[in-house]
Chain A
Amino acid sequence: MAACVAVIAKENYPLFIKTIPTDNELKFFYTVHTSLDVVEEKISSVGKNANDLRELYLGLLYPTEDYKVYGYVTNTKVKFVIVVDSTNASLRDNEIRTMFKKLHNAYVDMLCNPFYKPGENITSRGFENVVLAMLQQD
């Protein structure tokens, strides 16, 4: 389904990245990292009016030739990025939205763990399973 799922901290360092098994993991890392440019731009353009309720889902960040990159930013500026194969036509905006919702819920569950310090790399098995399910489906 998804090719890569990433959780990025407020300060833009990765908390969690999982890709489908591939030789070129780095390529996905770079894709996720570069997509932060667009995420930042989108957040900053909304941030001007404090009263605006920003939608968490940012939509398609930018299309590359082979992959589509979608973004989602929580209210605490934790970013979720999902990379999807461009050829996968079954994934429409709504499906992506649902995936992000699921991811967000899993993240919140993980965060509720009192032994997790916000800002640390995510090692929760429960969270990982949710992500793996997203990568494997279909």
Chain B
Amino acid sequence: MSWASELPGELVCRPLGLVALTGLDTTYNAVHKAIWDSFFNNRRNDRVPLQFKVCTADHEYPKCKQKRTSYEWYIPKGILKTHWLQKHLQEIPSVVVVFFDLDWDEPLWKERQMECSTRVEIVRNSLQGRGTKIAVVLIQKNAPLPPGEDLMAAERAVSLCSACEISAKSLYVLPHTDHLIGYTVRLENAFYEQAQAYYHQEARKVKSHKDFLNKTTHQLLFVRHQFKSAFFNELKQDSHTAIKHYKQAYGYMLDLRMHDTNMLEVKTVAGFINYKICRLSFQHNAPLDAIAQFRKHIDFFKSKTGIPELSFEHSAWMSKQFQVFGDLFDEAIKLGLTAIQTQHPGFYYQQAANHAIFRKQLCQGLCMQPQEMKSPDEIADYLGPTDFYGQRKWRQGHQSIEPPDLQKEREGILSLQTKERQVDHSWLIIPLLSSAVAQFRKYKSPRMKRFLMVQMGEEYYHAKDYVKALILLNKVTWDYRGERWWSLLTSILETSLKCAYLTAKVQEYVSNSMELIGRYAQCNHDAKVRVQMNLIRVMTNDVPEPEPGLDQACVEKAAGLWAAARNQQNSFTIDMHGLLPFIETKACFVSEVVSADHEITVEVCLRVGCPFPVRLSKLMVLFTNQKYNPHCLLIDRRGISASSESEVDSGDLYLKPEEARVFSFSFLPLTEDVGKQIEISSLALEMGSEAGCCAVLRWTGGGGDNLLQPLGPARPVIKPTTPGVPVDWNAFVVNPVIRVNPRKAHVEVKSSHEPPCLLNEIYLVSVLVDNKEDSDIKDVRVSLGLQASEENQDDSTQVCSSVSEFEEDKTSNTCQLEIGVLRKGESAKKEFYIKCLHAGNRTFISTVNYKVDVMVDKQGICCDCQAEEQISLTTVRPFDVSIKLESLKYETIEAVHADDPFLLTTDIRCSSPWSIDIKDSSVNLSEFIHTACDPHESQIAGVRLHKSDCGAESVCLVASSCVQPSVSLGTYTLEWRRLSSGSKELPYVQSRFPLPTVNIEHIPITVHVAVPAFGRVKTLLPLCYVVKNRTPYVQEIQISMESTDSFMFSGNKQSQLRVLPGQEYKLHYNFFPLVAGQVTLPRLHLDMMRYPGTMDDIINKMLPTHIFIRPIGKTPPGST
């Protein structure tokens, strides 16, 4: 039947104006061939939309029918002739081009002109009555001259036009030169204009008929004329006018009288027009118009089924409408349209598929009666090409309501039904569904996609392609399971089970059965019973009963397959992850942690949800460390169908419905797992026997409902089950991980030391290990180390086992010592030395590791034990050293003068709670600094400082003149140790302190005066000021002595003098003190010519300011 709803190719193609090229000998003439190729080949989108066709000069075009002058008695036989579209697309050209080889300078001009005009005449005759345009193209060898220059050409062109009876505009020249394609494109454009004019004129011609029509008899013609107008406009490439006419045609269409005899014709043509409207709407980027039009179209014709015997025809038509629209929509999307989740081609494909499914159902209802089938010859009489679109072959042109011949009508219907019977509907439905799937996937509708895949699977099932059906359905079940739509899942599983049965796929059959008899399957109890019985049959290597409602032929075939499957060994593993089988498992370590010398207990809880009890053959718990696997194995050798009563020596894996059973296993952890985790990697159950059919069901991890895991964050407490009490399945906790901790150590670790630790000292920590085990311990090792943590990353801590190691510079922050065997009750003491290079708090850990043999369950195992003790240690500074620079007058100075002595004073203040014994101190001076007189000798050696005591030492130093402005003085070193009871053996340690960096100033002159310790009132006090020039230049100096009330003096009050480089100048003054006491000396002012105004202050700092003057001594009476 599909022939009637198919869209013909001429409707679907893009209409292009037809141009016929005549006079081209493309076979023998190379020039003509090149011209033709330039027209025909490479028609890209930028070329004008025309179709070219080569014809012989005397080609017969379809004859033009005599146009009626009146429509009064005319009754149309149908809406649209099947040949009409084809005729205007392929047969009647809009322009006929006559190619003719003729140069302007042709010697035999007259003859050639005559020949040309004859050719034009022939063409014109064969186009009698049509408006087809005629154009002449002269193929010339020479390039044309510019217009107006070639007088002969102009003259001959005029004569040729008149001879051929064409207008000058229709005469073209095609010089056969290099730029052929350029000329072709220009010619094409000219033809295109003419073609448009032709189609415009044709459309008008059709329109002009309208006035003759009347509404009663010519309804069909209204549609036909509008359609034709629209199509001519399309050929003219005026799609906006075209769509307007198509819409009008569609409007007239809906006004037609519709009855059973013409319903197919109406629907067919309406479908065509609808197609055109939708297509042009999409093309005009008006998708909403297209959708609205389609909606209107479908809503109108949805209920127009036609005669009931052929209702499948209607479904086929509906399906086609949706499919075609889907294609148009999809095409538009490919060209840039954007669709949305609720409006995209997928919906249309889905509907198309739905109608196709409906068609199949109708076909099964209508066409499958055991009536006689028509032979192909008879069918050919009734079906086949017709003159009008959508008419019945046996009554073409018939337009009245009643069919003319009832017998013929019946025969025709029967032929159609026979034909329909031969259609393989599934192969129509599946591609539609698969298109829809692709669309829904694109528009983020996973559930719809899955639903369509289910439909596809079911269709494959109907098409008897069970393998594909099974694959498709298996793909989607997971999602339905995950979303817990049990009723949908059950229906899918039922179909899958049928497929698995029919293809005798044992594994799929078993896994589907397992789910169907589980607690979540929605099928009724009887179905479950039947499925379980079949499952048991399969597992005992028997042939299962067929599923109900299957095709008998297929069942027989399947029985054969099953029999074959029976003979071979069937062993397979089913991954239970993501399935919801009838049997559920949970595994649990009864504790979260276990000590290395204790047994691990694993409990496995099993529960079945099927209607009958079931016996399994093997239970296995598999661990990440496979060495434990043999400990957790339970085998039941009684066979799947045996009941529980029989007495056998092996384990019992008989499970009653809804009764949870717990199986318990225990084993000792291995030494290699101490400190690690043991994890259950999977649980495995075996059904059936290895000899026949054997299914291994495998759960990853600890089992439990992997899809329906409770979402609560709180971890329930694990309670070991008590035997004899029924197990509550829901309370059974899944715990697939256990941690194996080392055995608890039975030794005592004690450390003794004297905190706080002093910075830089060697600090003694002794660790005492006391064996409290019941037996000897071996491989005892003690270690002391800094606790590994973020803040302890630096290298400021050293731990050693002997003092000498500190000198060897290979220290680390941990140290280990071997003790070896320690007998029961014995103890051992080890000493460690710590040196801390930074102050602060540290945590050390002393660790004792050993091995001990213990007996667990009459089984000796060797355990590693570890005991730890933490030591917190604070490191403090033993003393604070402050260093000062002073002048010889004990004034603190910032800078020193080159070659002038100064004092370095160190104050050592003991801040340690322990007394400190200082062995020695030394100053290590830099090269520019030296001691003023003797080498430095420690002034505090042997001093003992208690807490808060101070020790000081002073050294006189001189800075030699150097170029550097500032100089580091050097370092100060103290050699010391703590003074405590345990420190006698400890060595002294050295602490270094950097001396400050000083600025060295250069003074050009020095003034020195030797002042006696005291003077006496009214006694002469001679002073000599020595001025020394340190520069290599002569210095001019002005000197003045300030007078005071305390002294009289003689000498230069004011003078100017000149000091030679490196020389001294002496100024002698005789002072005469007038008052007693601490008296201010007269100030000496000094000014240098080179450094005016700067020297006075500097010099004053060099000179003594005061002198002590004694009163006049009382002479003892009587001595004068």
Judge whether B867 is part of the interface by a CB distance below 8 angstroms: no
| Stretch from B109-117, B479-487, B684-692, B1076-1084 that touches the partner | B479-487
- The distance from the CB of B1074 to the nearest CB of chain A, in whole angstroms, is 98
Task: Say whether, besides A38-B445, A41-B444, A30 and B342 are in contact (CB < 8 Å).
Answer: no
A34 contacts B485, C-beta separation under 8 Å: no
Find A30's partner among B341, B444, B451 (CB 8 Å cutoff).
Answer: B451
CB of A26 closer than 8 Å to a CB of B:
yes
Question: A33 to B485, Cβ gap below 8 A?
Answer: yes
B488 x A29 contact (CB < 8 A): yes
Q: Least Cβ distance of B340 to chain A in Å?
A: 9
Contact A34 B447 (CB under 8 A): yes
Question: Is A26 a contact of B491 with CB atoms below 8 Å?
Answer: yes
- In the bound complex, do residue A37 and residue B445 qualify as a contact, i.e. CB atoms below 8 Å apart? yes
Chain A residue nearest to B484 in the complex (CB)? A13
Known contacts A37-B446, A37-B448; A14 and B485 CB within 8 A of each other:
yes
Q: Which one of A33, A36, A41 has the greatest number of beta carbons of chain B within 10 Å?
A: A33
A62 in the interface, Cβ–Cβ < 8 Å?
yes
Cβ-defined contact, A33 with B351, below 8 A: no
The reply to whether A34 and B451 contact each other, CB–CB distance below 8 Å, is: yes
Residues of A within 8 A of B483 (CB): 11-13, 33
Interface: A5 (CB within 8 A):
no
Question: Contact at B341–A41, with CB atoms within 8 Å?
Answer: yes
Q: Which residues of chain A are within 8 angstroms of B354 by Cβ–Cβ distance? A: 65
Contact A29 B448 (CB under 8 A): no
Residues of B within 8 A of A33 (CB): 447, 451, 483, 485, 488
Q: List chain A residues, Cβ under 8 A from B347.
A: 62
Q: Does A61 contact B (CB under 8 A)?
A: yes
List B residues 462-512 near A (Cβ within 8 Å).
483-485, 487-488, 491
Interface footprint category on A:
10 to 19
Contacts of B448 in A (CB 8 A): 34, 37
CA distance A64 to B302 in the complex (A): 14
Is A29 in contact with B444, judged by CB distance below 8 angstroms?
no
Determine whether the beta carbon of B488 is less than 8 Å from that of A30: yes
Q: A26-B491, A30-B451, A62-B347 are in contact. Are A37 and B341 (CB under 8 A)?
A: yes
Q: Are B447 and A11 in contact (CB under 8 A)?
A: no
- Chain B minimum-CB-distance residue to A44: B444
Cβ contact within 8 Å between A36 and B351: no
In the assembly, what is the distance between CA of A41 and CA of B342, in Å? 10
Q: Which residue of B lies closest to A13 (CB)?
A: B484
Residues on the B chain within 8 Å of A65, using CB: 351, 354
CA distance A12 to B341 in the complex (A): 19
Min C-beta distance of A31 to chain B, whole Å: 9
Instruction: Please indicate the chain A residues that have their CB under 8 angstroms from the CB of B444 in the complex.
Output: 37, 41
Distance of A98 Cα from B485 Cα, bound (Å)? 28
Instruction: Identify the closest chain A residue to B448 (Cβ).
Output: A34
Question: Which residue of A has the minimal Cβ distance to B455?
Answer: A30
Of residues 36 through 87 on chain A, the ones whose CB sits less than 8 Å from some CB of chain B are 36-38, 41, 61-62, 64-65
Q: Are B351 and A61 in contact (CB under 8 A)?
A: no
Query: Would you call A38 and B342 a contact (CB within 8 A)?
Result: yes
Chain B residue numbers with a CB within 8 Å of A12 are 483
Which chain B positions have C-beta within 8 A of A34?
445, 447-448, 451
Tell me the smallest distance from the CB of B551 to a CB of chain A, in Å.
21
Instruction: Report Cα–Cα, A26/B249, bound state, in Å.
Output: 42
Q: Are A62 and B342 in contact (CB under 8 A)?
A: yes
Which residues from B are CB-within-8-Å of A62?
342, 347
List of B residues within 8 angstroms of A25 by Cβ: 487
Cβ contacts under 8 Å, A37 to chain B: 341, 444-448
B393 to chain A, nearest CB (A): 32
Judged by DSSP, the binding face of A is helix
Contact A38 B485 (CB under 8 A): no
Contact of B447 among A13, A26, A36 (CB under 8 A): A36
Which residues of B sit under 8 angstroms from A26, Cβ to Cβ?
487-488, 491
Look across to chain B and name the residue whose beta carbon is closest to the beta carbon of A9: B484
**CA of A29 to CA of B487 in the docked complex: distance in angstroms?**
8
B440 to chain A, nearest CB (A): 8
The distance from the CB of B329 to the nearest CB of chain A, in whole angstroms, is 15
- For the complex, what is the distance from the CA of A40 to the CA of B491, rounded to whole Å? 25
- Nearest-neighbour CB distance to chain A for B432, whole angstroms, equals 14
Binary flags per residue of A1-36, CB closer than 8 Å to B gives 1, else 0 = 000000000011110000000000110011001101
Q: Do the beta carbons of A29 and B485 come within 8 Å of each other?
A: yes
Specify the chain B residue showing the minimal Cβ separation from A35: B447
Report Cα–Cα, A36/B488, bound state, in Å.
14
Closest to B444 in A: A41
A74 to B487, CA, bound (A): 24
Please measure, in the bound complex, the distance between the C-alpha atom of A61 and the C-alpha atom of B447, giving whole angstroms. Answer: 14
Give the nearest-CB partner of A14 in chain B. Answer: B485
**In chain A, what residue has the closest Cβ to B487?**
A29
Assembly CA distance A86 to B342 (angstroms): 16
| Residues of B contacting A29 in the complex (Cβ-Cβ under 8 angstroms) | 485, 487-488
Which of B444, B445, B447, B483 is most buried by chain A, counting CB atoms within 10 A of its CB?
Answer: B447
How far, in angstroms, from A13 to B484 measured CA to CA in the complex?
5
Minimum C-beta distance from B450 to chain A (A): 8
> What's the minimum C-beta distance from B575 to chain A, rounded to whole angstroms?
23
From 422 to 471 in chain B, residues with beta carbon under 8 angstroms from any chain A beta carbon are 444-448, 451, 454
Instruction: Determine the distance from Cα of A25 to Cα of B341 in the docked complex, in whole angstroms.
Output: 25
Kindly list chain B residues whose C-beta atoms are within 8 Å of the C-beta of A64: 351
Q: Are the CB atoms of A61 and B342 closer together than 8 Å?
A: yes
**Distance in Å: Cβ of A59 to nearest Cβ of chain B:** 11
Minimum distance in angstroms from B482 CB to a CB of chain A:
9
Distance between Cα atoms of A86 and B445 in the complex (Å): 22
* Closest Cβ neighbor of A62 among chain B residues: B342
Chain A contacts of B446 at CB under 8 A? Answer: 37
Say how far B447's CB is from chain A's closest CB, in angstroms. 5
> What distance in Å separates the Cβ of A76 from its nearest Cβ neighbour in chain B?
14
- Distance between Cα atoms of A77 and B178 in the complex (Å): 75
What is the chain A residue whose CB lies nearest that of B355?
A65
Q: How far is the CA of A11 from the CA of B347 in the complex (A)?
A: 26
Pairwise interchain contact B484-A11, C-beta atoms closer than 8 A? yes
- Give chain A nearest CB distance to B192 CB in angstroms: 44
Bound complex: CA A14 to CA B485 (Å): 6
> In the docked arrangement, what's the CA distance between A11 and B707, Å?
12
- In whole angstroms, what is the CA distance A25 to B488 when docked? 10
Minimum CB distance partner of B483 in chain A: A12
CB closest residue in chain B, given A34:
B448
Query: CB within 8 Å of A: which of B696-724?
Result: none
Closest B residue to A17 by CB, please name it.
B487
- Known A26-B491, A34-B448, A37-B448: A13·B485 in contact at CB below 8 Å: yes
CB A30 to nearest CB in B, in angstroms, measures: 5
A37 to B483, CA, bound (A): 12
Separation of A62 and B447 alpha carbons in the complex (Å): 14
Across the interface, which residues of A come within 8 angstroms of B488, CB to CB? 26, 29-30, 33
A34–B487 CA distance with the chains assembled, in angstroms: 14
C-alpha spacing A122/B736, complex, angstroms: 34
A2–B483 alpha-carbon span in the complex (Å): 25
Least distance between A85 CB and chain B CB atoms (Å): 14
- 4 additional contacts (CB under 8 A) given A33-B447, A37-B445, A37-B448: A11-B483, A13-B483, A29-B487, A64-B351
- A-side interface residues toward B, CB under 8 Å? 11-14, 25-26, 29-30, 33-34, 36-38, 41, 61-62, 64-65
A-B residue pairs in contact (CB < 8 Å), sample of 16: A11-B483, A11-B484, A12-B483, A30-B451, A30-B454, A30-B488, A33-B485, A34-B447, A34-B448, A37-B445, A37-B447, A38-B341, A38-B342, A41-B444, A61-B342, A65-B351
The residues of B with any CB-CB pair to A shorter than 8 Å are 341-342, 347, 351, 354, 444-448, 451, 454, 483-485, 487-488, 491
Q: Give the 5 A-B residue pairs with the shortest CB-CB distance, closest first.
A: A13-B484, A37-B445, A34-B448, A62-B342, A34-B447
